[in-house]
Amino acid sequence: MDIPNIYTYKNLKLLIAIPIVLMFIGIYFSNFIVYDTSLAGGLSISLITNQTVNTVALASNISSKLHVLNPEIVQGRGSITITIPMNKSLADAENYLMAFYAYKSNYTAYSFNVTSISLALKNEPNNSTLLSELSFSSKGLNESFFGMKYNLDQELNALRPIIGNVSYNSSNIENMSKVAQAAYTKAGSIYEQKVVNIIKSFVKFSSYSYSLVTPTLSRFFLSQVRFIIIVAFILISIAVFFIFRSIVPSLAIIFGAGNDIIIALGAMGLFKIPLGIASLGGLLMLIGYSIDTEILTSIRILKRHEGTAEERAYHAMKTGLTMTSTAIATFATLFIVSLIAYVPTYYEISGVVLFGLIGDIFTTWLGNAPMILLYKKKKERR
């Protein structure tokens, strides 16, 4: 059965309303997106085992013994993946450790300044500028020292439930640095062994991999995700404007790509597909695909001359739907296989692209194409 030419309808603006409604739905559900450990911080343990496990009982045991909320356990064929939120003691300790090193860096700089200025004052003991700089650097040196001591005390206090009491020489900066790093490293090792022992009481496994993403690293990854998406859209905007040299078609294309991303994010929130480094790759793939279809559609409507604009849009839609349907079938297959076999990377990538492509059908053919047609008709009436 042939698809009717929807672009011959008089009120094309009604078609545009559909992707806009989907955009608001996507915005709503995107608030429920969960981050994987690469962005949220925490630890992930992958076990190689053929044992069938009561995942609810294991999750409850982990939660009660480690004092964490909602550990996620996924059992695949021959493997179990356990994701546990970051331990609060380790998370707090890491923040204090980073603050300790920041103060130590300041301490080193102020110490160098004090030494240099003191040497200079031997030749000019009454130099008011040098005296003022010495006072400032001495004050900074003292503040940095007390900042180091405070943050080391707080770090050791946070780690006390894991490693017990730790003493240090507060008059020796290098000793303080060694203790700060060694305490955090030791706590991490003890916590890993504790987690493994808890799991061993439930699961017999031949090997395991342990991956810990600290809050600092996860914040860095999250900032990079935002930066990459923003830069991608800026570069795309420049390229699209260079092709069409007009604001309206460029905005229509950018709207299409952005709306596909929003719909994909909404689907991730609705179906609990985690946002992480892998799904970021899926989002970037989706941007490229949506820009490709929308630019080709816009070029066919605006720069070709065979038939009417409505006919050109219709033929572009039939071709585009064939291409998108093929891609949807491919990624749907990958999504189902990765879900059954539980391959997290493929699951995240295929899930993002799959739902984004479904959204692209509505965005491109009910949003972008009608916008371009309305723009062309308005331009021809001038």
Per-residue pLDDT of the chain (382 residues; tens, 9 = 90+): 577 888 887 788 888 899 999 999 999 999 988 777 767 677 888 888 888 888 888 888 888 888 877 787 777 677 788 888 888 888 889 889 999 999 999 999 999 999 999 988 888 888 888 889 999 999 999 999 999 999 999 999 999 999 999 999 988 999 999 999 999 999 989 988 988 888 888 888 888 888 777 766 667 777 777 788 888 888 888 888 887 788 888 888 888 888 999 999 999 988 888 888 788 888 888 888 888 888 888 888 888 878 888 888 888 888 888 889 999 999 999 988 887 766 777 888 899 999 999 999 999 998 888 898 888 888 777 6
* Residue 104 within any structural domain of the chain: yes
Selection from 359, 363, 376, 373 nearest residue 294 by Cα: 363
CATH of the domain at 339: 1.20.1640.10
Residues 237 and 207 in one domain: no
Domain that holds residue 263: 6-38+214-381
Tally of structural domains, the chain? 2
* Residue 262 within any structural domain of the chain: yes
* Residue 1 within any structural domain of the chain: no
Residues 26 and 72 in one domain: no
Report residue 270 as tokens: 């609705």
Residues 20 and 127 in one domain: no
Exposed e or buried b for every residue in 198-222, given b needs 16+ CB within 10 A?
Answer: bbeebbebeebeeebbbbeebeebb
Q: Which amino acid is at 220?
A: F
Report residue 24 as tokens: 């608001």
CA geometry: angle 78, 81, 84, nearest 5 deg? 160
Residues 137 and 266 in one domain: no
d(CA 334, CA 351): 9
Residues 245 and 362 in one domain: yes
* Residue 329 within any structural domain of the chain: yes
Rounded to 10 deg, the angle between the 13-30 and 369-381 helix axes is: 140
Q: Backbone dihedral region of 246: left (phi > 0), alpha (psi from -120 to 50 degrees) or beta?
A: beta
pTM: 0.68
Residues 13 and 148 in one domain: no
